[in-house]
Amino acid sequence: MDIKKKINRKISVAPMMDCTDRHDRYFLRLISKNVMLYTEMVVTKAVLRGDKQKLLKFNELEKPLALQVGGSDKKELAEVAKIAEDFGYDEININLGCPSKKVQKNSFGACLMKEPDLVSECLSEMKKSCNIPVTAKTRIGFDHTEEFDYLNMFVNKMKQTGCKTIILHARKAILKGLTPKQNLNIPKLNYGMVYEIKKFNPDLEIIINGGITTTDQIKNHLNYCDGVMIGRAIYQNPYFLKDIENTIFNNLNVPSREDIVKQILEYLEKELKTGTRVNQVMRHTVGLYYGQPGSKEWKKYLSDNMMARDSDFQKAKHIMDIAQNNEKVNQLTA
């Protein structure tokens, strides 16, 4: 499985633990052909010691797809980069932004911002071991360090390894005292710092991330950066990708929500035969009708039925009824 897909990082969906698994990515790809997708963070040791197929397999339709990895052992990271390439991933990305306690205890994620030399060695080894792009996702600072000079030095260390793409979450990480969730909201967004990094490093592809929720905001950021990465706004409202396709990629051929439901149910039917459970796929679709008439009914139907363990396709038929009805109501209210 080595179909190379052209990477376009103008818009990407952020890596999100417990969210952007292979089922979610398949679902998102039904709506958007043009965005870049990332896996959840996978820890190097898990890949090297665990069930690689289970952890890394994906559907060709998800491509272009990047594997995000967490680790700080350069040998392990290099091995995983090679494995990612062999699996057919289009990019390997190192997580330098996660502030969780568990991740810090294992000395990776955001705390690596304190160790630019180690990061540089890790990226160099990864680069040597594979032929796919090696990229990094980090924050603009940590704890009391939120200075352009520090970030620019860090970015330049990464640049010297041949890393050409850096994703910057435009808020610092507080390594002690905040939960990971607070760390996504409390530190103030500072987009200006990301724009400055791009200005000083025009040869780098700089992707901006954090708090972006509308196509107007996306368009504005694209005046200063090469790409925009969006996390929560897409997970909460996956059909936001339709606006993105229409407005940013000029693609007016996005399937209706009803078509998406049809296609995800076909996927579900196939997946159930291989042991996947209904809720593993359908939980990602809870937000499909976000802000629409019928959203409540959709959510209620899913929460009442998606724990079904078997392939009860009668239920899927009911789901189609809701989707068709919602489509009619939407057309009437459009």
Ligand X SMILES: Cc1cc2nc3c(=O)[nH]c(=O)nc-3n(C[C@H](O)[C@H](O)[C@H](O)COP(=O)(O)O)c2cc1C
Q: Are 207 and 218 in contact (CB under 8 A)?
A: no
Continuous H helices in the chain: 22-31, 44-49, 52-56, 74-87, 101-105, 116-129, 148-160, 191-200, 215-221, 232-236, 240-248, 257-272, 278-282, 295-305, 313-333
| Closer residue to ligand X (CB): 214 or 324 | 214
Q: How far is CA 131 from the centre of its chain?
A: 22
Output the smallest distance, CB 187 to ligand X, in A.
11
| Closer residue to ligand X (CB): 171 or 315 | 171
Burial of 178 (0-12, 13-18, 19+ CB in 10 A): middle
Binding site for ligand X (CB under 6 A): 14-19, 40-41, 68, 95, 97-98, 137, 169, 184, 209-212, 230-233
Output the smallest distance, CB 67 to ligand X, in A.
11
| Closer residue to ligand X (CB): 190 or 209 | 209
Residue entry with tokens 């997946």: 271
Output the smallest distance, CB 110 to ligand X, in A.
9
| Closer residue to ligand X (CB): 236 or 311 | 236
* Nearest-CB residue for ligand X: 231
Phi, psi of 294, rounded to the nearest 5 degrees? 95, -5
Q: Which residues are catalytic?
A: 98
Angle (nearest 5°) at CA 9 between 249 and 41: 130
Output the smallest distance, CB 182 to ligand X, in A.
12
